[in-house]
Amino acid sequence: MRHREGLQEGDVLGGRYRISAVIGRGGMSTVYLAEDMRLPGKRRAVKESRLDPEQVGAGLEEAQMLIRLNHPNLPDIVDYYLEEQGGFSYLVMDYIEGETLLKRFERQGRRMTSDQVIDYALQLCELFEYLHSQKPEPIIYRDLKPANLMIDVQERLRLIDFGIARNYKPGQSADTLPIGTVGFAAPEQFEGRQTDERTDWYGLGALMYFLLSGGRYGHAACSDLREHDAGISESLAGLVEKLLQSEPDARCQNAAEVRLALQRALAEQGGRPSDAAGGRSARPAQPPRLVAVGALYGGAGATFAALALARALHALGVPHAAAEAPTQQAELYALLFGEKHAPAGYRCYNAAGADPAQRRQAEPLWADGCTLWLPSAPAAAERARAPAAARDDAPAGRWLSLLLQRELPPLLLVDIGAEWDRPDVRELLGKAQDIIYVVDPLIHKLDLPAVRNRLELLSMFRQAGKRVYGLANKAVSSGHTSQWLQVLPERPACLLPAIDFVKVAEANWFGQLVHDLPGVQQQLGRALQPWLRGWLQQGAAEGGGSGERVGIGGGTLRTLLQLWKNG
């Protein structure tokens, strides 16, 4: 039921979402709490926007923008409705337990510590790097303020309102409308000039000034932050001052520059050290936990399974890298549509002439939220198979050392395809702490001699103390599924569902991973989460409760377990 004045308590939107209460109002929008009648126990946030007739497309534009984005600091979009006759649009999102940054700020007596503000700023830095790297055009948010940021129960910021975000239009001298929030918007937003990535960096500076100064606005105060709090470090105050420059050319120009300055400020405050040479977080003292993912036979779907794991980890906010071992059929770059999505100047980790020390400073990382993509250069496999005497100085034969010398997140997934018998892959398996093998319903392949040899190899690895898991891929709903599972070498850790090939084809046509389609993402998440929960809990137990044995900090591990408990 819909009312011309908007939704009321007890109304049902789209035959599915029963309105429970109003949880926020502002401007032309109202946000409701709703119960999902199709999924009992699930609560949703419904954003109702009143649209003028000429703005009917604005709500749809916001919905389309959010639907194609996937980042742990953004809300998950569930549904969208456009009521043209009533002049309303409805965006249905997962309900985020927590409070706005503005409410937290006021609850703390309108003062936040430098460490708190730096932590929030680093999260926003990662988010803006993701938004600004969108192809074909960067997304400029333009409305960063405490009321538009939620803090969830894991202390993670969530950007909740994309009403005035826009795609950057190269060559355009001015925006269509000069809009923004006074006190947080950059000067160009009110002067009829074009906004770009640097507009968001001004917004970050304005937000930091507000939080550190007790609620003052940077554009009006015209004073150094240290006049309000002598405990603020000189480097932090200097960064905020640079971000608040009226001319975009005088501000920080990109995420790498902002991140480096924040890390230096945190180090000066006595927080975790910065990596001055690389401009990114310093590498942990321990190497990443190495997880090899391989198909027991060709066609079982090692790459699909590795990508499913990567996107499930991303959805949970776990930093990780997903790499591909060099093979003659190396396809990760193409599968991810690298020509469209890879950052400008990107090179594969094993490209000829690579020098890890130099690359940390000069070459961009291909980050997608919590996932660091590391595709292989396809030609490297042929060189890796060649006799040593026939190789030149290119890194084809030393891809593993090049990979492990990089600056990496605490968890590294490596897709080895079905190349178990290569010497370089055997070296990788020897270093891996966890080995995941993938099978599918074609059980006749289990009788192949090569498969029997690989099962013996896996048994040896298990006896040596490695953790070995089987994943059953392309699982179909059948009355005979139990017979299939009984034939497998062991009960699989989880069953990855067979994905409708129409969805696979359509995702490919539109240049995206099928794993990132909302419906598919949910299917794979439901399949993987029980196993991931056990994997993390086992790692925590082995590491004395800290999660160190799985390469994941205890705080992150607790966050994940809380997510499962709540979800």
Among 469, 496, 513, the domain-final residue is: 513
302 lies in the same domain as 451: yes
In a domain? residue 158:
yes
Q: Which bin fits 501, alpha (ψ -120 to 50), beta or left (φ > 0)?
A: alpha
56 lies in the same domain as 124: no
Spatial distance between the Cα atoms of 139 and 168, rounded to a whole number of angstroms: 6
90 lies in the same domain as 106: no
Check residue 220 and give its pLDDT: 54
Check residue 96 and give its pLDDT: 84
| Residue 140 near residue 197 (C-beta atoms within 8 A) | yes
74 lies in the same domain as 130: no
Number of domains in the chain: 3
Structure tokens at 292: 């090899």
Q: Which residue has the tokens 């690989």?
A: 454
Tell me the per-residue pLDDT of 497-540, one tens digit each, with 9 for 90 and over.
Answer: 999 889 889 888 888 888 888 788 888 888 887 787 678 666 55
83 lies in the same domain as 145: no
Average pLDDT over residues 363-390: 66
431 lies in the same domain as 407: yes
299 lies in the same domain as 429: yes
In a domain? residue 552:
no
Looking at residue 174, which CATH number applies to its domain? 1.10.510.10
208 lies in the same domain as 333: no
57 lies in the same domain as 150: no
- How many Cα atoms are found within 13 Å in the side-chain-facing hemisphere of 354? 24
* Residues of the domain holding 441: 289-513
Looking at residue 373, which CATH number applies to its domain? 3.40.50.300
Check residue 557 and give its pLDDT: 42
Give all strands of the β-sheet with 149-152 in edge-to-edge order. 98-100, 149-152, 157-159
Mapped onto helix, strand or coil, the DSSP state of residue 430 is helix
38 lies in the same domain as 148: no
In a domain? residue 284:
no
Tell me the per-residue pLDDT of 173-212, one tens digit each, with 9 for 90 and over.
Answer: 444 444 657 778 888 776 666 778 888 899 999 999 999 9
The total number of residues shown for the chain amounts to: 567
Among 35, 59, 94, the domain-final residue is: 94
Spatial distance between the Cα atoms of 395 and 29, rounded to a whole number of angstroms: 56
414 lies in the same domain as 484: yes
Tell me the per-residue pLDDT of 60-98, one tens digit each, with 9 for 90 and over.
Answer: 666 677 777 878 888 888 888 877 556 788 889 888 888
Check residue 536 and give its pLDDT: 66
Q: 325-339 as b/e, with b when 16 or more CB fall inside 10 Å?
A: bbbeebebbebbebe
Q: Is the pLDDT of residue 166 over 70?
A: no
82 lies in the same domain as 104: no
Spatial distance between the Cα atoms of 11 and 160, rounded to a whole number of angstroms: 23
Looking at residue 32, which CATH number applies to its domain? 3.30.200.20
In a domain? residue 275:
no
Per-residue confidence band for 548, with pLDDT thresholds at 50, 70 and 90: very low
Of the candidate ranges 54-58, 109-113, 295-299, the one whose mean pLDDT is the lowest: 54-58
By percentage, how much of the chain surpasses pLDDT 70? 75
DSSP character at residue 274: B
Q: pTM of the entire structure?
A: 0.51
Check residue 30 and give its pLDDT: 87
| Residue 183 near residue 196 (C-beta atoms within 8 A) | no
Spatial distance between the Cα atoms of 519 and 524, rounded to a whole number of angstroms: 9
47 is in an annotated binding site: yes
In a domain? residue 498:
yes
In a domain? residue 504:
yes
Average pLDDT over residues 101-113: 88
Spatial distance between the Cα atoms of 207 and 185, rounded to a whole number of angstroms: 10
In a domain? residue 222:
yes
Check residue 162 and give its pLDDT: 64
Closest CA to 83 of 104, 53, 128: 53
In a domain? residue 162:
yes
Closest CA to 531 of 472, 476, 455: 472
